[in-house]
Amino acid sequence: MRASLVIGFSMVLTLGFAPAYSVLAESYFPYAATSDIDLDALNRGEVIGKRVDIKAYQLSLCAETYFMLPTTPDRVLKKLRYTGPNTGSRSGGTFGIDGRDKISKPASLSDFSQFALGQERGSFGFGGSAMADLKLKQLNLSKGESANLQKASAEGPAQLESAWKKLFLERVRSFQSGGLMKAAPYETGDQPFRHQPKTVLILKSRPNVLRNFQNIIGAIMTGSKTSSGLPLVYGWESTKVQVEQTVTLNCIAAEPNKRGGYLIAESAFYVSNKYYTSMILHELIPVNYNGKSQTLCWRGDFVITSSINFLKGVERLAAQKIMLIEVKNSVQDFVDQCRQEYPSGNDLSFVSPVNLTN
Q: How far is CA 176 from CA 106, 125, 225, 252, in A?
A: 8, 22, 10, 12
**Greater pLDDT, 228 or 347:** 228
- Looking at residue 113, its pLDDT comes to 92
Distance CA 253, CA 220 (A): 7
> Residue range 122-136: average pLDDT?
64
Share of the chain above pLDDT 90, in %: 57
- Looking at residue 15, its pLDDT comes to 53
Whether the predicted pLDDT of 248 surpasses 60: yes
> Residue range 30-34: average pLDDT?
94
Distance CA 333, CA 311 (A): 29
Distance CA 129, CA 117 (A): 8
Quick one: pLDDT band at residue 342, thresholds 50, 70, 90? confident
Whether the predicted pLDDT of 5 surpasses 50: no
Q: Collapsing DSSP states into helix, strand and coil, what is residue 114?
A: coil
Contact 324, 49 (CB under 8 A): yes
69-105 burial: b if 16+ Cβ within 10 Å, else e: bbbbbbbbbeebebeeebeeebbeeebbbbbbbbbee
Whether the predicted pLDDT of 245 surpasses 90: no
- Looking at residue 10, its pLDDT comes to 34
Share of the chain above pLDDT 70, in %: 77
- Out of 117-121, 321-325, 334-338, least confident range: 117-121
Burial of 272 (0-12, 13-18, 19+ CB in 10 A): buried
> Residue range 247-266: average pLDDT?
96
> Residue range 218-223: average pLDDT?
96
Contact 8, 347 (CB under 8 A): no
Quick one: pLDDT band at residue 343, thresholds 50, 70, 90? confident
- Looking at residue 61, its pLDDT comes to 86
Beta partners for residue 303, in sequence order: 61, 278
- Looking at residue 119, its pLDDT comes to 59
Distance CA 358, CA 349 (A): 20
Distance CA 96, CA 329 (A): 9
Whether the predicted pLDDT of 220 surpasses 80: yes
- Looking at residue 32, its pLDDT comes to 94
**Residue 304: closest CA among 219, 223, 183:** 183
- Looking at residue 94, its pLDDT comes to 44
> Residue range 196-215: average pLDDT?
95
- Looking at residue 93, its pLDDT comes to 45
* Mean of all residue pLDDT scores within the chain: 82
Contact 105, 225 (CB under 8 A): no
Beta strands in the chain (DSSP E): 2-5, 13-16, 22-24, 36-38, 48-52, 60-69, 86-87, 95-103, 233-241, 244-256, 262-271, 277-289, 292-304
Q: Collapsing DSSP states into helix, strand and coil, what is residue 33?
A: coil
- Looking at residue 221, its pLDDT comes to 97
Whether the predicted pLDDT of 292 surpasses 90: no
Whether the predicted pLDDT of 63 surpasses 90: yes
Distance CA 163, CA 109 (A): 11
- Looking at residue 99, its pLDDT comes to 81
139-183 pLDDT, tens per residue?
999 999 999 999 998 998 899 999 999 999 999 999 999 999 999
How many residues does this entry show for the chain? 358
**Greater pLDDT, 339 or 18:** 339
Distance CA 255, CA 28 (A): 18
